[in-house]
C-alpha cells in the first residue's frame, strides 16, 4: 500500500516541540504514505484527513458503530425509514467552521455531486431515486425501483457532507455541455483554510507531516458537556514504510497507528497495546478470502473447490501470517461474533462446512473421479496432471504473502502444485476486475458497514453485477453463478421482519458453504488499532469500550478524542 514519491519523505520527522506541545498533540500514523498533494475530497485519492470515512474534517449524516451495529448521530440527530424512503433530521445546531449553518441544500448537493461526477460513491445512485427536504430540516431519500435500503443507509454513512458554497462554483466552472472536466475540478487542492463541519481543520502540511488544529467553536461541543476534544493538534507524520511507522510507535513518536505491528504482546514494555490484551488482540470485522475463478478448470468443479477448503491449514495461517490476530476461522461468510453473530448457526457450519482435514480433501477428490500418480501428484478424470495453480496478491503485503505460502504448502499435501504470483497493486487489481487469475487474495468489503453481511455476499457472489472474463467487473470477480443465491441477495435488503431476515441469511450461508464460491481464510479488523500510553491515556479498549477501535478518527471512533487524557496535564484548557 505504500505510495511513490518517497525521496522527500523523512524516516524520522522531528516535530517542532515549541509549536506543538507534546501534551496537546496527538500523533496518528498509517493513513498516508507519501508527501501530501491534495485535500480535495473529490479527488480519487485525497490525503488525510479528506479520504475515506475519516470524520475529523468532513462529517457524514450518520456514523456506523462497530460495537453496537447501530447508526449513531453525526450531522443528523435521528433517522427513520419506511418501505419506500429513509428520512434523516439534520441537527439544527450543525455549522461550518466559518459559523455558517449546514443546510439541507448542502446535504442534497453533496449527494448530487456523486450523481453527476465519477466519484467513488457514484453507484449509490443506483439505489436512490430522488432526495427532498422540508422546512424543518428533514431530508428524505426516496428509494429507487430496485429497493435496497441497506445500500442507501450505507450511502448516508459514507458520504461526506460538503459546503455547497465552495463546491458548486467549482463544479459549474468545469462543466462543458452535459459533461464535466474532472481535471479542472481536481486542480482545487483545498489546502487554504478549508470550510468543513468537523472538530479539526487543516492547519499546514509539509512533505513529512500533515497538521490539523482543533476547531475552537465546533458545533457539537454541547454533546460533550461543553468540553473540547483533548488534543489541540493532530499530526500525521509521513513515513516511507511499515517498519518506520512501527519504530516510531516504539519510540513514542506515534500515539495511534493503523499499521500491522507483529507480536504486539512483546510491545508491552514499550507502553504499546491494542484493543485487547489477549488473542486476537484486535477486534475483527472483515473476512480476508481467496477469490476463486469459478469458470476455469479445475475450479468449475464444486468438489474440487470443496477439497481445497478442507486442504488449507487455517491454524497455520493464523499463527504465521497474522501473529494470531484472528479468532479461529469458521465455515461460511458470516462473522460468528459481534452484530452478525445472530445470523450465524454453528450447527449449519458443522453439517455443511469444512475444516483442515487432508484425508477428507483426498476423499472428496477421489469420489469426484480424481486420482494420483506415483509421485503423489493429482490427476484429473482423464488421468492427466492437474495444472499448476497461481495465487495472487500485491507486492509488500507481507501478511498475505505468508498466508499464500501456507496455502501452497497445504495444497502440496493433496498433490496440487501452486505458485505465488506477487505483483504490483495495479496489476493485482486489474487481474481481479478482468477475471484473469486462478486464486487471488481479497478482503470484501474492507470497511465496517451497516450493509454487512449482505454487502460482503453481494460483492463476491451477485452474478447480475458480473461481467464475462476479460471485461472489467467490480463485483463477483470470480464470475460465480447461482440462481438461488441471486434470489436471496435480491430479497434480503427488503426484509424487515427479524425472524425472516435471520432465516434468509441462514439459507444464504448454507448455500455458500455447499458451493464454496470463495475461500474465507481469516478474520481481520477493518484497520489495525494500536496505541502508545507514553503521552496519552484512557484510549478505548475491550475493558473500557466507550468507543469503537477506529483509531480515534473514523466514524463514531472520533468520540474518543474527548476522553483521552494527556500524561502531562495541560495548563491551557
Q: How many CA atoms lie within 13 A of 413 on its CB side?
A: 17
For residues 87 and 141, give the distance between their C-alpha atoms in angstroms, rounded to a whole number: 6
Q: What is the pTM of this model?
A: 0.89
Distance from CA of residue 420 to its chain's centroid? 25
pLDDT for position 572: 44
Of 450, 459, 444, 505, nearest to 339 by C-alpha is: 450
For the chain, give the number of residues.
573
Residue-by-residue DSSP string for 267-305: GGGGTEEES-SSTT-S---EEEEEEE-TTSTTTTSHHHH
How far lies 370's CA from each of 173, 364, 392, in Å?
64, 9, 25
For residues 459 and 479, give the distance between their C-alpha atoms in angstroms, rounded to a whole number: 11
Residue 276 makes CB contacts below 8 A (sequence gap 6+) with 282, 283, 541, 542
How far lies 387's CA from each of 93, 129, 260, 384, 501, in Å?
64, 49, 35, 9, 42
Tell me the per-residue pLDDT of 201-260, one tens digit each, with 9 for 90 and over: 999 999 999 999 999 999 999 999 999 999 999 999 999 878 899 999 999 999 999 998
For residues 475 and 495, give the distance between their C-alpha atoms in angstroms, rounded to a whole number: 23
Of 277, 278, 271, 274, nearest to 259 by C-alpha is: 274
For residues 8 and 537, give the distance between their C-alpha atoms in angstroms, rounded to a whole number: 33
pLDDT for position 396: 81
pLDDT for position 33: 86
For residues 57 and 561, give the distance between their C-alpha atoms in angstroms, rounded to a whole number: 13
For residues 236 and 98, give the distance between their C-alpha atoms in angstroms, rounded to a whole number: 24
For residues 428 and 391, give the distance between their C-alpha atoms in angstroms, rounded to a whole number: 11
For residues 330 and 324, give the distance between their C-alpha atoms in angstroms, rounded to a whole number: 15
Q: Count CB-CB contacts under 10 A for residue 430.
A: 14
For residues 438-474, one letter each, b for 16 or more C-beta atoms within 10 angstroms of the residue's C-beta and e for the rest, the string is bbbbbbbbebbbbbbbbbbbbbbbbeebbbeeeeebe
Q: Cell numbers of 462, please?
A: 451477485
Element (H, E) at 348: helix 346-352
| Residues 261 and 528: beta-carbon distance below 8 Å | yes
pLDDT for position 505: 98
Interstrand relation of 389-394 and 439-442 (parallel, antiparallel or unpaired): parallel
The residues pairing with 524 across neighbouring beta strands, listed in sequence order, are 286
Interstrand relation of 138-143 and 128-133 (parallel, antiparallel or unpaired): antiparallel
Tell me the per-residue pLDDT of 243-284, one tens digit each, with 9 for 90 and over: 899 999 999 999 999 998 999 999 999 999 999 999 999 999
Low-confidence stretches of the chain (pLDDT beneath 70): 1-18, 570-573
| Residues 273 and 45: beta-carbon distance below 8 Å | no
pLDDT for position 556: 95
Element (H, E) at 491: helix 483-491
Of 563, 560, 555, 561, nearest to 69 by C-alpha is: 555
Taking the CA atoms of 247, 210, 240 and 399 in sequence, report the sign of the dihedral they define.
Answer: positive
Tell me the per-residue pLDDT of 165-176, one tens digit each, with 9 for 90 and over: 999 999 999 999
For residues 542 and 534, give the distance between their C-alpha atoms in angstroms, rounded to a whole number: 19
Q: Cell numbers of 380, please?
A: 484429473
Amino acid at each position: 500500500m505504500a505510495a511513490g514519491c518517497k525521496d522527500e519523505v523523512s524516516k524520522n520527522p522531528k516535530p517542532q516541540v515549541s509549536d506543538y506541545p507534546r501534551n496537546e498533540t496527538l500523533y496518528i500514523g498509517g493513513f498516508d504514505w507519501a508527501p501530501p498533494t491534495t485535500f480535495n475530497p473529490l479527488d480519487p485519492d485525497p490525503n488525510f484527513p479528506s479520504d475515506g470515512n475519516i470524520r475529523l474534517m468532513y462529517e457524514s449524516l450518520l456514523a456506523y458503530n462497530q460495537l453496537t451495529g447501530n447508526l449513531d448521530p453525526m450531522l443528523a440527530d435521528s433517522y427513520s425509514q419506511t418501505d419506500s424512503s429513509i428520512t434523516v433530521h439534520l441537527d439544527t445546531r450543525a455549522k461550518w467552521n466559518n459559523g455558517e449553518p449546514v443546510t439541507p441544500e448542502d446535504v442534497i448537493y453533496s449527494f448530487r455531486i456523486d450523481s453527476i461526477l465519477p466519484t467513488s460513491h457514484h453507484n449509490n445512485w443506483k439505489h436512490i431515486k430522488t432526495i427532498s427536504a422540508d422546512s424543518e430540516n428533514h431530508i428524505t431519500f426516496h428509494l429507487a425501483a430496485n429497493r435496497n435500503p441497506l445500500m442507501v443507509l450505507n450511502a448516508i454513512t459514507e458520504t461526506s457532507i460538503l459546503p455547497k458554497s465552495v463546491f458548486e462554483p467549482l463544479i459549474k466552472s468545469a462543466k462543458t455541455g452535459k459533461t464535466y472536466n474532472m481535471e479542472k475540478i481536481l486542480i482545487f487542492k483545498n489546502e487554504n483554510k478549508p470550510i468543513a463541519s468537523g472538530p479539526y481543520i487543516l492547519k499546514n502540511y509539509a512533505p513529512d507531516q500533515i497538521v490539523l488544529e482543533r476547531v475552537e467553536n465546533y458545533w457539537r461541543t454541547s454533546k460533550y458537556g461543553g468540553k473540547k476534544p483533548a488534543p489541540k493538534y493532530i499530526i500525521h507524520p509521513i513515513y516511507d514504510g511499515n517498519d518506520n511507522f512501527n519504530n516510531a510507535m516504539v519510540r513514542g513518536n506515534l500515539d495511534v497507528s493503523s499499521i500491522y505491528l507483529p507480536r504486539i504482546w512483546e510491545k508491552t514494555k514499550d507502553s504499546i497495546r491494542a484493543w485487547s490484551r489477549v488473542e486476537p488482540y484486535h477486534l475483527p470485522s472483515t473476512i480476508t478470502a481467496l477469490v476463486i475463478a469459478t469458470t476455469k478448470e479445475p475450479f468449475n468443479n464444486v468438489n474440487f473447490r470443496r477439497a481445497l477448503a478442507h486442504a488449507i491449514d487455517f491454524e497455520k495461517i493464523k499463527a504465521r501470517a497474522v501473529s494470531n490476530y484472528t479468532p479461529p476461522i469458521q465455515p461460511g461468510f458470516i462473522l460468528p461474533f459481534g452484530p452478525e453473530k445472530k445470523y450465524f448457526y454453528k450447527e449449519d457450519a458443522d453439517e455443511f462446512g469444512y475444516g483442515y482435514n487432508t484425508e477428507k480433501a483426498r476423499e472428496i477428490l477421489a469420489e469426484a473421479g480424481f486420482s494420483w500418480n506415483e509421485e503423489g501428484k493429482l490427476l484429473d478424470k482423464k488421468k492427466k496432471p492437474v495444472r499448476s495453480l497461481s495465487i495472487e496478491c500485491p507486492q509488500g503485503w507481507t501478511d498475505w504473502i505468508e498466508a499464500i505460502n501456507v496455502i501452497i504448502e497445504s495444497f502440496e499435501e493433496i498433490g496440487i502444485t501452486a505458485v505465488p504470483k506477487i505483483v504490483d497493486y495495479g496489476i493485482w487489481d486489474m487481474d481481479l476486475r478482468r477475471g484473469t487469475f486462478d486464486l487471488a487474495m481479497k478482503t470484501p468489503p474492507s470497511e465496517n458497514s451497516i450493509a454487512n453481511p449482505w454487502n460482503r455476499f453481494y460483492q463476491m457472489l451477485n452474478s447480475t453485477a458480473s461481467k464475462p472474463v476479460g471485461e472489467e467487473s467490480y463485483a463477483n470477480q470470480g464470475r460465480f453463478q447461482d440462481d438461488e443465491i441471486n434470489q436471496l441477495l435480491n430479497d434480503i435488503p427488503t426484509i424487515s421482519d427479524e425472524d425472516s431476515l435471520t432465516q434468509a441469511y441462514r439459507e444464504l450461508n448454507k448455500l455458500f458453504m455447499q458451493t464454496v464460491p470463495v475461500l474465507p481464510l481469516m478474520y481481520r479488523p477493518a484497520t489495525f488499532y494500536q496505541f502508545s500510553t507514553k503521552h496519552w491515556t484512557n484510549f478505548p479498549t475491550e475493558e473500557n469500550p466507550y468507543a469503537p477501535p477506529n483509531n480515534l478518527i473514523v466514524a463514531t471512533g472520533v468520540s474518543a478524542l474527548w476522553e483521552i487524557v494527556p500524561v502531562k496535564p495541560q495548563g491551557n484548557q
